[in-house]
């Protein structure tokens, strides 16, 4: 591997110029773990060099977050300060770009009262609804990336020393983002161009229904709403800027029709959610709604996650990722949804991305009438496998193989 310090700078440059795609005179808000401050500074420097007007910071710390959930007064989990809401709303309205450096300990809230977590999510979801809707509709550019933290690296590579685990995780992250010492931005764009080929094929088919089946137990059908379209790799913000929301990314995705899913969905990878690792998820779904939810580990957290509001028990995303993709082929279980969802086909329960033609001119009620789910949550979980079969059914009833043996059939 090339000099790590150079690769870190290349990675920061990629995140700023291809991720949020910062524009001259624009402000950037960076949310980061305190432990990741050195990389956050590299991103800030890259942003300023690209003409950013000002970089703002919001710092997080796993230990302090855990301490709050264990020791804070109970009533704090039912409110959000008005200045928090005002800050978020004003920044999104001015066209600020948003970057999250996601490196939290996947088990940071293990053993915390799940009711406190649920109530905090509900109060935040309600208070920040305007901001959340703007972000879900990509009103402004945003991106999420990751770098190693000590706790995360130890969980991924428990057989290694802490120093070795961090070095190995750096190696895997950089490889997943195609940062190898060459022109990282060019390599990223070449990858995006390949994803767009699948996007175009899926949009041309305009499937009415997708049918999933594998040996893990997933056997489910899902309709796609009239006027839906697929995206992948990049999105176009309301400001007109093209950006990459996820780094890395291997997915193409759209939304399901809210009331259409029927069958059984079985997860194939653990889900790290709200500081807890959930394993062995099984959902029974009827007319789009999760009517039964089970998990081998973390079931209480899972059941809280699908009941934060009515829409949390319905689905908002259908995403296709080939089994033979670089992240999957690495053989690493990251315990980080940003990476694990890009190693596997996945669904998300909760809020739908408004991938319906003309959505930018529609109200929330109009989108809902067309089949888009609404919720204050959006949680991805993985269902892909090496034997996953997905069949697309056209509006004329023709059946087209979409996935065969876990990979695209086209």
The structure tokens listed for 371 are 């089949």
Q: Which of 151, 176, 201 is the last residue of a domain?
A: 176
169 and 200 in a single domain? The answer is no
Q: What is the pLDDT of residues 119-176, one digit of tens each?
A: 999 999 999 999 999 999 999 999 999 999 999 999 999 999 999 999 999 999 999 9
Task: Check whether residue 215 and residue 237 sit in a common domain.
Answer: yes
Distance (Å, whole) CA 214 – CA 265: 10
pLDDT tens digits, 45-97: 999 999 999 999 999 999 999 999 999 999 999 999 999 999 999 999 999 99
Same domain, 258 and 155: no
Query: Do 155 and 23 fall into the same domain?
Result: yes
Burial 267-295 (b: 16+ CB within 10 A, else e): bbbbbbbbbbbbebbbbebeebbbeebeb
What is the per-residue pLDDT for 2? Answer: 63
Q: Supply the pLDDT for residue 360.
A: 87
Q: pTM of the entire structure?
A: 0.93
State whether 225 and 320 are in the same domain: yes
Domain C-terminal end among 141, 176, 211 = 176
Tell whether the model's pLDDT for residue 187 goes beyond 60. Answer: yes
Number of domains in the chain: 2
Q: Are residues 134 and 240 in the same domain?
A: no
Shared-domain flag, residues 60 and 188: no
Structural contact between residues 22 and 55, judged by C-beta atoms closer than 8 angstroms? no
Task: Say if residue 63 is in the same domain as residue 8.
Answer: yes
Same domain for 39 and 155, yes or no, is yes
Looking at the predicted structure, is the pLDDT value of residue 364 above 90? no
Domain with 9 in it = 4-176
Cα(16)–Cα(97) distance, integer angstroms:
10
Round to whole Å and give the CA distance between 341 and 106: 15
Q: Which of 176, 196, 230 is the last residue of a domain?
A: 176
pLDDT at residue 1 above 60?
Answer: no
213: β partners: 219, 389
């Amino acid at each position: 591997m090339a000099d790590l310090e150079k690769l870190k700078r290349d990675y920061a440059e990629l995140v700023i110029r291809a991720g949020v795609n910062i524009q001259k005179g624009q402000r950037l808000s960076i949310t980061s773990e305190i432990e990741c401050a050195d990389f956050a500074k590299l991103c800030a420097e890259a942003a300023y060099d690209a003409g950013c007007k000002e970089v703002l910071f919001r710092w997080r710390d796993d230990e302090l977050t855990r301490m709050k959930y264990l020791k804070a007064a109970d009533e704090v989990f039912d409110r959000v300060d008005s200045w928090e809401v005002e800050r978020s709303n004003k920044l999104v309205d001015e066209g600020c770009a948003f970057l999250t450096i996601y490196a939290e300990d996947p088990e940071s809230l293990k053993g915390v009262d799940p009711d406190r977590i649920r109530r905090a999510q509900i109060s935040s979801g309600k208070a920040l609804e305007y901001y959340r809707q703007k972000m879900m509709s990509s009103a402004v550019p945003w991106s999420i990336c990751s770098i190693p933290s000590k706790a995360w690296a130890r969980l991924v590579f428990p057989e290694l020393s802490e120093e070795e685990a961090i070095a190995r995780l750096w190696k895997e992250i950089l490889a997943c983002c195609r940062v190898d010492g060459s022109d990282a931005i060019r390599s990223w764009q070449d990858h995006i161009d390949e994803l767009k080929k699948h996007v175009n094929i899926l949009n041309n088919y305009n499937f009415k229904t997708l049918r999933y089946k594998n040996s893990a137990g997933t056997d489910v059908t899902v309709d796609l709403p009239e006027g839906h379209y697929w995206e992948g790799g990049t999105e176009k913000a309301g400001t007109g800027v093209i950006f990459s929301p996820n780094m890395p990314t291997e997915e193409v995705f759209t939304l399901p029709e809210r009331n259409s899913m029927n069958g059984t969905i079985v997860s194939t990878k653990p889900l790290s959610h709200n500081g807890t690792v959930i394993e062995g998820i099984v959902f029974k779904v009827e007319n789009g709604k999760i009517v039964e939810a089970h998990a081998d580990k973390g079931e209480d957290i899972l059941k809280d996650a699908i009941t934060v509001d009515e829409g949390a028990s319905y689905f908002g995303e259908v995403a296709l990722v080939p089994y033979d993709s670089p992240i999957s082929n690495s053989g690493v279980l990251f315990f980080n949804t940003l990476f694990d969802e890009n190693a596997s086909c996945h669904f998300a329960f909760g809020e739908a991305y408004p991938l319906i033609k003309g959505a930018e001119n529609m109200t929330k009620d109009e989108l809902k009438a067309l089949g888009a789910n609404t919720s204050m949550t959006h949680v991805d979980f993985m269902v892909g496998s090496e034997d996953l079969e997905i069949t697309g059914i056209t509006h004329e009833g023709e059946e087209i193989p979409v996935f065969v043996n876990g990979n695209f059939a086209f």
